[in-house]
Amino acid sequence: MERRFVKVEKGLGPEGRVAVVRFDRGDDINALSQAAMRELKDVPRDFEDDLETSVVILTGSAKAFSAGFDLKDPEAWQRTPLPIGERIHRQRLGPRLCKAWQDMDQVTIAAIEGHCIGGGAALAVALDFRFCGKGAHFRIPEVELGMNMSWGSIPRMLALMGPARTKQAVILASDRIGAAEALEWRLVEKVVEDGQAFSAAMAFAERIARQPPIPVRMTKLSVNRLAHALDDLAAHMDADQNVLTGLTEDYKEGTSAFREKRKPSFKGR
């Protein structure tokens, strides 16, 4: 696959065991269009048979990790008039993207500057570690758009933050979660000065890269299997739910309000 928005660099760090994946659409927004999502979903394939790389850092632009799902992407709106089965099939791109990153053998680290919103946050919590600049912020806007939070994210956020904080982050969709708050909530592992998230992630990656690769992979696999053992049970229908909420009047109101830059008025229909 030819990639326009994603670049992969291997062979960095101790013994060449660190790789960097840069997602940058060049607009300081870094929204997840369908094309961008396909590129990011394809990246883990580069590492399937890679026994040399121990750690992969995923970073965005200097001002944005990702603004989340691209509501202005014409391809995304093409699915609206489709039959339910086709819509569910297309809706599974996001969950498959996040699952592909979660299932990588290599340790994965998100280096986050600026905003990390919606689908961007969903991708970040699918990785093993998250480092962010102190000016970074997170937001989960899906509920305020009239839809559910999907992409298998709720079980992952639950494992990180616990039930109350996960509910708060998802239900109170307008609330920004600043870097200090994200650290307190255990949504991120480290907060550094703005512009230093990548450097901090690289220093951490180099420490991991100096460890013996085989037990590192085995440890990640064991922890993930235990931590995410029930994820499929909790998230197997979230794509279906996303399509279902997409048929409601509240979804139309939420997305219209977003485009018109006003507060939505929901009716529960």
Mean pLDDT on 188-216: 98
pLDDT at residue 53 tops 60: yes
pLDDT at 187 (0 to 100)? 97
pLDDT at 78 (0 to 100)? 57
Question: Is residue 221 included in any domain, yes or no?
Answer: no
pLDDT at 80 (0 to 100)? 62
pLDDT in tens, 168-183: 999 998 899 999 999 9
pLDDT at 77 (0 to 100)? 58
The domain in which residue 169 lies consists of 6-201+232-260
Which CATH number does the domain housing residue 163 bear? Answer: 3.90.226.10
Question: Is residue 61 included in any domain, yes or no?
Answer: yes
Question: Is residue 244 included in any domain, yes or no?
Answer: yes
Question: What whole-number distance in Å separates Cα of residue 96 and Cα of residue 151?
Answer: 8
Question: What whole-number distance in Å separates Cα of residue 6 and Cα of residue 25?
Answer: 8
Question: Is residue 10 included in any domain, yes or no?
Answer: yes
pLDDT in tens, 117-144: 999 999 999 999 999 999 999 999 988 8
Q: Which of 154, 175, 165 is nearest to 228 (CA)?
A: 154
pLDDT at 155 (0 to 100)? 92
Question: Is residue 266 included in any domain, yes or no?
Answer: no
Contact 161, 186 (CB under 8 A): yes
- What is the total count of domains within the chain? 1
Binned at pLDDT 50, 70 and 90, residue 150 comes out as: confident
Mean pLDDT on 210-227: 96
pTM for the complete prediction? 0.90
pLDDT at residue 237 tops 60: yes
